[in-house]
Amino acid sequence: MAEAAALRAVRGCLAAFPREARELGWTESIPYLDGPPTPLEFYREWVSPNKPCIIQNAISHWPALQKWTSAYLREVVGPKVVSVAVTPNGYADAVFQDRFVMPEERQMPFADFLDIVEKKVTSPNVFYVQKQCSNLTEEFHELVCDVQPDIPWMSEALGKKPDAVNFWLGESAAVTSLHKDHYENLYCVISGEKYFLLHPPSDRPFIPYELYQPATYQVSEDGSFEIVDEKSADKVPWIPLDPLNPNLKQYPEYAQAKPLQCTVRAGEMLYLPSLWFHHVRQSHGCIAGPGPFPGLIDLYGSGGGLVEYRASLLASRGFVTLALAYMAFEDLPAMPEVLEMSYFEEAMNFLRKQQQVKDTGIGILGLSKGADLALSMATFLPGIKAVVSISGSGFNSFIPLKGNGFTLPTHPYNLGRVKTSDDSCLVDFSDVLDDHRDPATWDCRIPMERSSARFLFLSGQDDMNWKSDLYCQDVVQRLQQCEREVEFCSYPGAGHLLEPPYLPLCQASIHKVLGMFVRWGGRWREHARAQEDAWHRIQAFFWQHLMDSDIPKSKL
């Protein structure tokens, strides 16, 4: 009894400690500094209290910000052989199944690496220049003159010069798994963006560690990767959890941890104190060029109209993107009696004929009604390589879809189940559709099991428009029963309208076609975090699957 009481007391203290630590100085977001601090300010305000910050205008004088284009890097480093980490999945130094797996360290000309990053040469693997031990000064000394390897105010504050200065360049699919370092870090971003998820040291009691047999990825004769154990090495303590999509059933204590997320943009510097846990992603490393580029079709929901802002943002990220209206726009009826697959086929063929579009297959991005149309396109049209479904379903909703020799009926619904709140007059459609698990509704299912495309499903658990999370779980299960690999991310607290990051949460608005105030759901902080994560996942997914020539055919 005494031991149990003591254990409960210890657990109570551990649970209270992170909250008390935040109250003493750690905030809910990473603060920004307008310029570099003095050595005394830096030590007193940040190093001593072990607090991270993002510093702007600290590296604006570095020549690298203007000089480091693809052409410049090719000219200066060019054919020089450098060390590159290669993995099949983008995770170097990470837990895979029951092993801690390190990347293959491949020696290759830097120009060949740039060809892969810029997608001039396609590879199913993920390449990342990430070698530690001061690779900037050891392997890329030609670039040292473009930066400042010794930050004077940092060196004076710590009383020593940097132990290592590293140069990292890679694809968006390259991910640094959650871990901590025992030294002070400054991350300086020259091009693109870095996405950090951070945990203060006080969250350590809730972050799982396990011991793993170390191993290394090695390429076999047929080009595939095999995992080879480092038999003489001791087991490695590492974190098995993905903080972006944690398995809380397996690691329930992690629910008590409170991560911070931040984006470090080109020209900015992140001070990351020692012992802070960090998980790192990045935007695509490709530097703008003449193309060709992967092609996307962007479909929004049943509100209709031509919605172009997401397509514009994707275009700025290196995708030729066609925003496609299919109802309630110009001569398109507000509520069509039927949608014709030939309309979407014509749009896809138009996109594929553009000179700047790669001939490696088209990607489709759909939200809500646009998501089930995206699945139907991948099922019934050739040339669709990858599909992202946001807040969608696996059945045809609200408008019949007619194709060559088939018609998909609409999923049964009953408008008598519409609920309207007395105080705000907001309309709740979440119970309108009949139970999708009822076999009587299955004739409206989209047979995407026939498609060879790759699928990514994203949904919010606070969707108040319809039960998209439940619908996505169902379609994922259907595909997995057919032994299909599928990606699925369900976001706690996120609503129906998962938009690009930094767009404000819209919990309710007028549905343009119905003319009613409808609820979309979502909680402020959780929805914002979900939008940041989803935006990265969408881009990484399309870059991964639209860059080789294995174009799937339709399977009617």
Whole-number pLDDT of residue 6: 65
Q: What global pTM score does this model have?
A: 0.62
Asked if 203 and 343 sit in the same domain, the reply is no
Give a yes or no: residue 21 inside a domain: yes
CB atoms within 10 A of CB 186: 15
Nearest C-alpha neighbor of 202 from the set 474, 20, 385 = 20
For the stretch 291-302, pLDDT in tens is 678 999 999 988
**57 has a pLDDT exceeding 90:** yes
Question: 447 lies in which domain range?
Answer: 293-545
Asked if 421 and 398 sit in the same domain, the reply is yes
Asked if 27 and 46 sit in the same domain, the reply is yes
Which of 282, 312, 344 delimits the end of a domain?
A: 282
Contacts of 250 (CB under 8 A, 6+ apart): none
**489 has a pLDDT exceeding 90:** yes
Which CATH number belongs to the domain containing residue 299 in this structure? 3.40.50.1820
Asked if 273 and 360 sit in the same domain, the reply is no
Question: What is the C-alpha to C-alpha distance for residues 537 and 532, in angstroms, rounded to an integer?
Answer: 9
**288 has a pLDDT exceeding 60:** no
Give a yes or no: residue 556 inside a domain: no
Give a yes or no: residue 430 inside a domain: yes
Which of 252, 282, 312 delimits the end of a domain?
A: 282
Q: Which pLDDT band holds residue 225 (cuts at 50, 70, 90)?
A: confident
Asked if 486 and 456 sit in the same domain, the reply is yes
Q: Please say whether the beta carbons of 469 and 490 come within 8 A.
A: yes
Asked if 418 and 523 sit in the same domain, the reply is yes
Asked if 258 and 380 sit in the same domain, the reply is no
Gyration radius of the chain's alpha carbons: 25
Residue 270: phi and psi, rounded to 5, are -105, 125
Whole-number pLDDT of residue 359: 84
For the stretch 391-426, pLDDT in tens is 999 999 889 999 998 999 998 888 778 777 766 678
**548 has a pLDDT exceeding 70:** no
Nearest C-alpha neighbor of 323 from the set 333, 336, 337, 311 = 311
Nearest C-alpha neighbor of 490 from the set 467, 506, 508 = 467
Asked if 417 and 529 sit in the same domain, the reply is yes
Give a yes or no: residue 150 inside a domain: yes
127 three-state secondary structure: strand
Residue 27: phi and psi, rounded to 5, are -100, 180
Which of 282, 307, 335 delimits the end of a domain?
A: 282
Which CATH number belongs to the domain containing residue 261 in this structure? 2.60.120.10
Asked if 262 and 305 sit in the same domain, the reply is no
Whole-number pLDDT of residue 220: 81
Q: Please say whether the beta carbons of 25 and 49 come within 8 A.
A: yes
Whole-number pLDDT of residue 2: 64
Asked if 332 and 278 sit in the same domain, the reply is no
Give a yes or no: residue 375 inside a domain: yes
Nearest C-alpha neighbor of 245 from the set 42, 420, 457 = 457
Helix axis angle, 341-352 to 369-380, nearest 10° = 70
Q: Pairing between strand 357-367 and 339-340?
A: unpaired
Count of structural domains within the chain: 2
Give a yes or no: residue 552 inside a domain: no
Asked if 93 and 240 sit in the same domain, the reply is yes
Give a yes or no: residue 2 inside a domain: no
**470 has a pLDDT exceeding 70:** yes
**239 has a pLDDT exceeding 90:** yes
For the stretch 317-337, pLDDT in tens is 789 999 999 998 888 998 899
Of residues 23 and 366, more confidently modeled: 366
Give a yes or no: residue 306 inside a domain: yes
Asked if 383 and 412 sit in the same domain, the reply is yes
